[in-house]
Amino acid sequence: MNFKTLIENIDDFPVDGVSFKDISPLLASPQFEKVIIEMGQLVEIPDFWVGIESRGFIFASALSMKFGGGVILCRKAGKLPGTVVSETYNTEYSKDSLSLKIGSGRVVIVDDVLATGGTLHTVNSLCDRAGYDVQANLVLIDLKYVPRSDVVLKDPLPKIKSLLQYE
C-alpha cells in the first residue's frame, strides 16, 4: 500500500514556507498496524525502543507491542523523575531541551519525521551519555529535501532507517 496517501500535506504550517506532514489520518487508519510491521522489519529488535516526545512515543509503544522490547521515553527537560541526562539544541523553529533516564541496553531511537536531524542527533548523544548502545535510528518519514543541520553533517547519524521518503 502507498502509505503516503494517508499523510496530509499542510502548507505554511507551523511557519510560512514549511510543508507539514500530518500523520493523523495514518494513525487513525486500520493501515497503521501495517506501518508498524513494515517499520519493525527495517531494524534488528532492540532491548528498548527510545520514543522521542511526543509522536515518537506512539511508534515506540506500537513497535514494542508488536515486536517485543521495552519502551524508554525521551522527554522534554523537567518531565522525567530520577537521574537523567539532558541536552539543549536548536530546532528549525525554536530551542528545545530533551532528557533521558540513565540505563543500559541496545536501543533503536524512534520518531515520526526526520527533517534537519537535529533532534535525532541530540537523542543519539543522550543515549550515549546515558549508557545505551544505539543500534539504529528509525523514522516513519525522512524529508530528504530538507538540508541536514551543520552538526549532523559534521557528525552523521548512525543507521537511519525510514519507511517513507520525500525527495
How confident is the prediction along the chain (167 residues), in pLDDT tens digits per residue? 899 999 999 999 988 988 899 999 999 999 999 999 999 999 999 999 999 999 999 999 999 999 999 999 999 999 999 999 999 998 767 789 999 999 999 999 999 999 999 999 999 999 999 999 999 999 999 999 999 988 888 888 879 999 999 99
Cis-peptide into 14, omega within 30 deg: yes
List the beta strands (DSSP E) in 69-150. Answer: 70-76, 84-90, 95-101, 105-114, 132-143
**pLDDT digits 0-9 by tens, 125-167:** 999 999 999 999 999 999 999 999 888 888 888 799 999 999 9
Other Cβ atoms less than 10 A from the Cβ of 148: the count is: 18
Whether 26 is in a domain gets the answer no
Other Cβ atoms less than 10 A from the Cβ of 13: the count is: 11
Rounded to whole angstroms, the Cα distance separating 76 from 72 reads 13
Whether 16 is in a domain gets the answer no
Whether 146 is in a domain gets the answer yes
Q: Is residue 85 packed enough to be buried (19+ CB in 10 Å), middle (13-18) or exposed (0-12)? A: middle
CATH number of the domain encompassing residue 160: 3.40.50.2020
pLDDT at residue 94 in the model: 76
pLDDT at residue 1 in the model: 83
pLDDT at residue 91 in the model: 75
Write out the residue range of the structural domain in which residue 62 sits.
44-166
pTM of the full predicted structure? Answer: 0.95
pLDDT at residue 86 in the model: 98
Tally of structural domains, the chain: 1
| Partners of residue 133 on adjacent β-strands | 106
Whether 128 is in a domain gets the answer yes
Catalytically annotated residues: 55, 92
Whether 35 is in a domain gets the answer no
Whether 81 is in a domain gets the answer yes
Whether 127 is in a domain gets the answer yes
Whether 34 is in a domain gets the answer no
